[in-house]
Amino acid sequence: MADRKPLIITLLTGCDAKITIPDVLHTGREIDRVTKLVRESLLKEIMPKLGKLPASYKFRLTHTFANVFNREVQKGQTPVKARNAGAAEVNQSIKRIYRAMGNWGFSVGALYSVDARDQIAKRAASVTKQINSKCDGQPVAGFCEIHNYLSDFGIAPDMPSEAAPVRDYEILIAKTTCYEWLRRRVERMARRIREQIAIALGYVGKDKTPYLSKWGLKEFTTSLVRGEEYLNGFEIVNDETGEIMDLGQVAQASSSNPEKRVTELEVRIDGVCQYAERNDYQGYFLTMTAPSTYHPNKGRRWNGATPIESHRLLQDNWVKARAMVAKEDSPIDYFGFRVVEPHKDACPHWHMLIFVKPDQAERLLSILASKFREPESDELTTKAKKKARFDVRKLKNAKHAALYVSKYIRKNITGQGKFDEPFDRETGLPLEDSSRLVVGWSRIHGIRQFQFFGVESVTVWREVRRLEFEGERELLSQLKDATGGEKGDDKTPNWYAFTKLLECNSVQLLKDTDLTTRYGEPAERIRGIIVNGVTYITRIGNWLKQRKQTADKQGGSPAPWMVVTNCNFSNKGENNYDQKRENQRTFTHQSGTFRESGQNQCYAIA
């Protein structure tokens, strides 16, 4: 029998979707019958369910139907069974899409329209203000009504506990009646839903782009460009000293700079490993994954979980394990570092460097294994499956541990460094491209990539780096040298030496605690450090943000914006702190809660 061209059925589904059916049928009558069967399935059963989805989704799902139909026919199934298999696959995808949308109470089109989301936030702010005005003087009743309204659209904040003070309700009202707060919440929710829909439709994975969809990567790249343009368009001015600094340069000098972030993490890891080695701790490298139903690449077994839900499952396992460890009769001493990275299908998994005393290791690892293997444990029927869920690798020594983890740090931030090969083994992509996808994945889903536990906070380290002082002060010199010394010094930062100094001395942060945010929430601002009872100021005044073109005009900006996170600045020692605090109080009192001038606003944080 001569080969004939495949049959093409053209459907109007928001776009022209040409569905090809292999020519395995023998007569024109059979072809007509199958053509009618496919048309009726698509137009009467499937297309109505896709009515609210964008045309690109319809195109994708109609081709999913065709691919399944083709596969089943080639396997020898009847056209009716092949049609049913295709319809079942599409229905499963539709369920995943609507599960991905979760509590999104607006139109699907609003997910893909900036203007629509902006109007949503404005309308929501208008309605919540009206509700609040009707309940004036009754913040509890007012917020409850606002919460009910916003819950219908999936953007309501959590309700306070029953014992919460009235002030908490007032803060929540201030947030939920603010257009900017609502807009950010809507944007964040829409961004994550769009990415989850891409995962549900199979745009993320082995055969597509790993970790992140093409749209997600474009969104992340665009946000980086916008952020850089924004920073370069502003400068900050110190309200006491008059010092002016370029905001973009300040950001580059901070830990938000990827290279500086890598360096700081590696210094801390090296110090932690040194501490472990010198105090006889044994190191282990652990890998934890979620059950198979949390992985989109498992097909029908996937329960539709988002990356955030999978991450929270692992977090819950970790919390339960630590709680069990804390209840042990003999305290277990452990500390370490955690890395979160995605599988190719965007489902997260954890890597953990953990140090523990050798005689306590077996008990600790047993508790961790039991908790991480507890969810859906019925599927762990073999040693390989148990190992895939929770794997333990014993490390040779501290140097081995530091090098091992350093690769994960660089791979998941910049992709630059000394690697055995320039490509990511899992994806085959260049490491720099792979790291960009991983960072974009963490930003869109709001998942923290790195976290230390059981070790000193890095905030004190950063404040000591800012410290400037005069005279011979042995302890300050030692602390400063441990963080790398003064600018221009050729000294290597040593986290181990720094932590040893903290063990023998009292080094605490000096904070202003009588501050509030624009919504009335309690806030803190670091002002310096207290070393063995002596105060040293590292930050003077408040840094106010203003546009560069405004600052260039005579008279400067009439109402610059306050920067909540202070810029680097330090004075010579601990003198006049009380006077500076009094100056700060005077400034914020004169400013009031906020001041408007033109389009700019100045928010007094105190």
> Cα–Cα distance between 403 and 374 in angstroms, integer?
31
Residue whose entry in the numeric block shows the structure tokens 């893909």: 112
Look-up: residue for tokens 């297309």? 47
Residue 583 has which token pair? 């100056």
| Residue 544 burial by Cβ neighbours in a 10 Å radius (0-12, 13-18, 19+) | middle
Which residue, chain included where needed, has tokens 């896709």? 50
pLDDT at residue 65, as a whole number: 83
Q: What is the mean pLDDT of residues 46-69?
A: 78
Predicted local confidence at residue 566, as pLDDT:
40
pLDDT given at position 18: 57
Highest mean pLDDT among 33-37, 218-222, 312-316, 430-434: 312-316
pLDDT digits (tens, 9 = 90+) for 77-106: 887 888 888 888 888 888 888 888 888 888
Separation of alpha carbons 409 and 37, rounded Å: 54
Distance CA 356, CA 263 (A): 25
Tell me how many degrees the CA angle 565-568-570 measures, rounded to the nearest 5: 120
At residue 603, does pLDDT exceed 50?
Answer: no
pLDDT at 264: 92
| Entry pTM | 0.83
Res. 555: pLDDT tops 60? no
User: Model confidence at 6, in pLDDT bands (50, 70, 90)?
Assistant: low
Q: How many CB atoms lie within 10 A of CB 92?
A: 16
**pLDDT (0 to 100) of residue 26:** 59
Taking the CA atoms of residue 377, residue 378, residue 381 and residue 384 in that order, the dihedral angle to the nearest 10 degrees is -30
Give 471's contacts (C-beta < 8 A, 6+ positions apart): none
Does the structure show a pLDDT above 50 at 559? no
**Residue 239: what pLDDT?**
87
Neighbouring CB atoms inside 10 A of 405's CB total 26
51 vs 224 pLDDT, higher one: 224
Alpha-carbon torsion angle 343, 344, 347, 349, nearest 10:
10
* Residue scoring higher pLDDT (13 or 99): 99
> Do 605 and 515 meet the contact criterion of CB atoms below 8 Å apart?
yes
The confidence score (pLDDT) of residue 16 equals: 53
Tell whether the model's pLDDT for residue 200 goes beyond 70.
yes
Confidence at 48, pLDDT banded by 50, 70, 90: confident
What does pLDDT average to over the chain?
82
Counting Cβ atoms within 10 Å, is residue 254 exposed (0-12), middle (13-18) or buried (19+)? middle
pLDDT in tens, 135-177: 888 999 999 999 999 998 889 999 998 889 999 999 999 999 9
Long-range contact list for 74-80, CB < 8 A, 24+ apart?
74/22, 74/24, 79/33, 79/34, 79/37, 80/37
| Alpha helix (H) residue ranges in 487-539 | 495-504
In this prediction, residue 382 has a pLDDT band, given cuts at 50, 70 and 90, of: very high
Q: What is the mean pLDDT of residues 42-48?
A: 76
Q: How confident is the model at residue 115 (pLDDT cuts 50, 70, 90)?
A: very high
pLDDT over 70 percentage in the chain: 83
- Which of the four pLDDT bands, split at 50, 70 and 90, describes residue 1? very low
At 176 the pLDDT is 95
Lowest-confidence range among 262-276, 297-311, 335-349, 433-447? Answer: 297-311
Residue 489 CB partners (closer than 8 Å, separation 6+): none
Instruction: For 217-253, write each residue's pLDDT tens digit.
Output: 999 999 999 999 999 899 999 888 888 999 988 888 8
Is the pLDDT confidence value at 553 over 70?
no
| Amino acid (1-letter code) at residue 25 | L
Write the pLDDT tens digit of every residue in 471-490. Answer: 668 899 899 999 988 776 77
Q: What is the pLDDT of residues 409-441, one digit of tens each?
A: 888 888 876 665 667 777 778 888 889 999 999
Name the one residue in this structure whose structure tokens are 């944007």. 187
pLDDT value at 12 more than 80: no
Sheet holding 543-547, edge to edge: 244-246, 234-238, 543-547, 561-562
Burial class (CB in 10 A: 0-12, 13-18, 19+), 105: middle
Stronger pLDDT, 368 or 19, i.e. the higher one? 368
Comparing 67 with 481, the larger pLDDT belongs to: 481
